[in-house]
Amino acid sequence: MTILITGVAGLIGSNFADWIIKHHPEHRVIGIDDLSGGYIENVNDKVIFHEFDLIDGKKLQQVFDSEKPNLVYHMAAYAAEGLSPFMRTFNYKNNLLSTAHVINNCINYNINRLVFTSTMAVYGHGTPPFAEVDLPNPIDPYGVAKYACEMDIKIAGDQHGLDWCVIRPHNVYGRKQNIWDKYRNVLGIWMYQHMRNQPMTVFGDGKQQRAFSYIDDTLEPLYKAGVQENCSKQIINLGGMTHYSINEANQILREVIGTGEKVHKEKRHEVKDAHPTWEKSVELLSYEDSYSLYDGLVEMWEWAQKQQEKHQKFWDKYEIEKGIYEYWKKK
């Protein structure tokens, strides 16, 4: 079987490719990434790699035509919820247009199934734990875009016979995470700040509730989402079973490191509490929350300390400057 992974240089995509190559060497793995948020060194040497932006539908069609994938995992996205209100055009091009190209090719080339990694951001305001049957109510353009992609995938299934599975991951972290991106992945941001002798930034009072998922706990469930019959046309939360306040998560990381300071900054526009139900992922994907947050951070911190310095991503210009947070303004 030939498996195509978009976003193969990112946290989930690169680790997932590694897992397939290790546990299912009989499969060919094709990877696509534009390297805007991931790094080429993350990509396994056994991946047949294509570097381009998925907005280029012609190049994507050429890959489908030449590689003839049977199964597609669409993981490419710039997952910065907080930034998306200030970068609307970029957000919608990056998520909606690229996904439309993926859907078109999955239909035209009759792939077995499209597995789409969506996000917990689709739930927005509500009363956690969020269940798959809850009506999404996103509060930022990133969540809006991901929910629109979900709906379009369902329509493609109804109208064109596309088989699909939507996975909604929640705060996945671990090795190969982009800790040099100041706009997303709070655990990585804290590690980057600490390694540069900066205090760790907490937005608002830090009482926001989140669940965190160590990367290794998500990989086999993701594979099952693509190959098991019982996952056909299912929406499945995939995330940690235990939730923490941001203050608690920060305290655990500082315990792992053995030192560190935190500083509270202005509150930003975000959901107060966001954590998922997990029963469906256990039933269909045999999900296990085997890593505690402490244990997962121990492994991630060991990895982070070995990484070479990289340039920290910073947007020179935002599409909307009004209301931009002080800590994102260019000094």
Render pLDDT for 185-210 as a digit per residue (tens, 0 to 9).
Answer: 999 999 999 999 999 999 999 999 99
**Any domain includes 191:** no
What does residue 303 show for φ and ψ, rounded to 5 degrees? Answer: -65, -45
Backbone torsions φ then ψ of 327, nearest 5 degrees = -75, -5
| Under 8 Å between Cβ of 253 and 297 | yes
Average confidence score pLDDT of the chain: 96
330 pLDDT tier (thresholds 50, 70, 90): confident
Query: What is the reported pLDDT for 239?
Result: 87
**pLDDT tens sequence across 263-279:** 999 999 999 899 999 99
**CATH code where residue 50 lies:** 3.40.50.720
Mean predicted confidence (pLDDT) in 98-102: 98
User: What's the pLDDT score for residue 198?
Assistant: 95
pLDDT value, residue 331: 65
Q: Which amino acid is at 266?
A: E
Cα separation of 197 and 98, whole Å?
A: 38
Q: Answer whether residue 85 is part of any domain.
A: yes
Residue 203 lies in a domain: no
Say what the pLDDT of residue 314 is.
81
Question: Does residue 115 lie within any of the structural domains?
Answer: yes
Higher pLDDT among residues 64 and 272, named by residue: 64
User: Residue 28 domain-assigned?
Assistant: yes
Q: How many domains does the chain have?
A: 1
**185 in a domain, yes or no?**
no
Q: Phi and psi at residue 155, in whole multiples of 5°?
A: -60, -45
DSSP string, 111-152: -SEEEEE--GGGT-SS-SSB-TTSPP---SHHHHHHHHHHHH
Cβ–Cβ under 8 Å, residues 211 and 171: yes
Is pLDDT at 33 greater than 70 in this prediction?
yes
Looking at the domain assignment, is residue 68 inside a domain?
Answer: yes
Question: Is the confidence at residue 313, as pLDDT, over 80?
Answer: no
Q: Which domain holds residue 15?
A: 2-172+215-238
181 domain-assigned: no
Q: What is the mean pLDDT of residues 63-69?
A: 98
Dig out the tokens for 98 from the structure: 């690229």
Residues 211-216, mean pLDDT to the nearest whole number? 97
Q: Is 266 exposed, middle or buried (0-12, 13-18, 19+ CB in 10 A)?
A: exposed
**Residue 145 to residues 7, 79, 90, 269: CA-CA distances in angstroms?**
17, 11, 11, 17
What's the rounded Cα separation, in Å, for the pair 123 and 138? 5
